[in-house]
Structure 1
Amino acid sequence: MKNIVSSLRLCVSLAALAVCLPLAAQAQYDFSKVPTTGAGGTMMNDGRSSEPTPADPRTRARIHTELGALYFQEGNPAAAIDHLSIAIQVDPDYATALSVRGLVLADLKEFAKADADFSRALSRAPNDPEINNNYGWFLCETGKVRESVAYFERALRDPLYETPDRAHTNAGNCLLRIGELESAQRHYLQAVRLSRTGAVPARLGLADIFFRQGNADEARIYLNDALRMMEPASPAALWLGLRIERKAGNRSAESSFAAQLRGRYPTSEEYQQFLKGNFE
């Protein structure tokens, strides 16, 4: 069976920008929080606002990190690396810049350099939940699944972590890769419970688990929940829906999913699997 995890997005944080990166080659980004440095300034002891100056190393590093993140978002990793490297040169202890550069390098498959950046970031901020989540994603992506879960769990130990659903989803995705369905299901359910945005990847993961277990009714419930939140439906979701209905013997629904997959994503890997008849 084609593992739906290969098309699910692992969620990482890019310079405090919420980002979902796929395991497949084509990246998709979901930016929901952009930090600002120049507008607000800092507060002085007497309560007056003081605008940060370009001479402040941390402020300069933050600005270059944000620029690097935006260039990465726009598909220009070379410019992203340039700005992130400036940020690190200006402020070598700025862990966020190191972590974001690690993400960009990982996307470029410069795995040894990415690992070095993540290690430096963790040495400076060992308990930062975003950095731990990002490094967990990196380890999972490079085949170190069991090691990755420890970093997701470390991120989840921070009671102030703003997006714990992301780490739960990542842990579920990674555990699903190695067939640990019970543990993956537990993390997915926590992601659904904690998410403020619907936890679509976690719902797809749960649908996949129930499909594997032969429970078409439960699989259909979670898939339909995810589809209601997706516009448009992804090829992975349509492919899973097709296989759920095929296993349930619902030929009409199976044909509907097949028509959507063919019409929207005729060059997708999922549609090629359909043409080959690889339903399991």
Structure 2
Amino acid sequence: MPFKTGIRLLTISAACTVIGACGLLPDFGSTGMSTHELANLNLQMGVRYLDMGMLEVAKEKLDTAYDLESGNPETLNALAVFYERIKDDEQATDFYQAAIGKDPENYSTKNNYGRFLCERGKHDKGMAMLREALDSPMNQRPWLALSNIGICLLLQNDPAKGEEYLRRALFANPAYPPALQEMLKISYNNRQYMSARAFLERYLAVAKHTPESLWYGFQTERALGNHQAAENYKEQLLINFPTSTEAQQAKTAISK
């Protein structure tokens, strides 16, 4: 690889231990698959493992995909997301830029890279990337870029415009969890507690609790005077995410 990757995170035998199903994996040596097909198979598996949070085996598959077909922009994009996930911003930046260099019109990469830049305070460049992703005629999932633009605007202290884009994202996809969670936070901060509760209920219909969602659920129900529901959220937060910042905040709030 042209980028620093360090040692591989997993041996083949360790991968078998992690996934517990090596006997079910394809025998690459006897399938007669082309190099491109093998690279794509490893890419798809790597992305799936990345989605599942199995980072070590995801890295193994993505490295294999890269070794087989180093110029594939989708593989470069996936590796960028991987390095972002493990907080290696330098490597993530290199792979995002390489992916865009290989396929300048790839809206998925621009969406990911734009979000990445916004989260790191590079708002102007991030917004430009996100708008290019949104405006792409190939983009069949506009709610991704709309939501990321909304969040980037919130990071720039423009809540009104941010809410506008988040609502547009939910109009395009009413069940998109990140937009629902951001609207929960906006509603709570605006003291619209019934609206906050409604957004949390919609969020929980399609996603699992995070420390943040439990914290806002706790605070919302406290504000509404529903102490039993508030205690339930608090208990879930302390049991499931005891070391989280939100759990510590809940303890402090209770002790007051």
The equivalences for 1:253-268 within 5 A come to 253-268=229-244
1:72 shift after superposition: 3.4
Alignment-derived partner of residue 107 in structure 1: 85
Whether 2:220 is the aligned partner of 1:235: answer no
Q: Give the counterpart letter for 1:138 in structure 2.
A: F
Whether 2:249 is the aligned partner of 1:277: answer no
1:220 shift after superposition: 2.6
The equivalences for 1:33-52 within 5 A come to none
TM-score (norm 2): 0.74
1:143 shift after superposition: 3.3
Percentage of pairs with the same residue = 26
The equivalences for 1:91-240 within 5 A come to 91-195=69-173, 198-230=175-207, 232-240=208-216
- Do the aligned partners of residues 234 and 109 (structure 1) sit closer, same or farther apart at CA in structure 2, a change above 3 Å counting? closer
- Do the aligned partners of residues 208 and 70 (structure 1) sit closer, same or farther apart at CA in structure 2, a change above 3 Å counting? closer
Separation in 2, partners of 1:242, 1:203 = 17
Q: Give the counterpart letter for 1:235 in structure 2.
A: P
- Do the aligned partners of residues 132 and 248 (structure 1) sit closer, same or farther apart at CA in structure 2, a change above 3 Å counting? same
1:74 shift after superposition: 5.4
1:119 shift after superposition: 0.8
1:219 shift after superposition: 2.3
TM-score (norm 1): 0.68
- Do the aligned partners of residues 159 and 63 (structure 1) sit closer, same or farther apart at CA in structure 2, a change above 3 Å counting? same
Task: Give the aligned CA root-mean-square deviation in angstroms.
Answer: 3.0
Whether 2:222 is the aligned partner of 1:246: answer yes
Higher relative contact order at CA 8 Å, sep ≥6: structure 1 or structure 2? 1
User: Structure 1: any 5+ residue segments left out of the alignment?
Assistant: 1-37, 39-51
1:106 shift after superposition: 1.8
User: Structure 2: any 5+ residue segments left out of the alignment?
Assistant: 1-25
Separation in 2, partners of 1:76, 1:223 = 27
Secondary structure of the residue aligned to 2:191 is coil
Is the 1:53–1:59 contact (alpha carbons within 8 Å) kept by the matching residues of 2? no
- Do the aligned partners of residues 82 and 237 (structure 1) sit closer, same or farther apart at CA in structure 2, a change above 3 Å counting? closer
1:189 shift after superposition: 0.6
Is the 1:58–1:94 contact (alpha carbons within 8 Å) kept by the matching residues of 2? no
Secondary structure of the residue aligned to 1:277 is helix
Is the 1:140–1:174 contact (alpha carbons within 8 Å) kept by the matching residues of 2? yes
Q: Give the counterpart letter for 2:251 in structure 1.
A: L
Separation in 1, partners of 2:85, 2:62 = 14
Separation in 1, partners of 2:64, 2:204 = 42
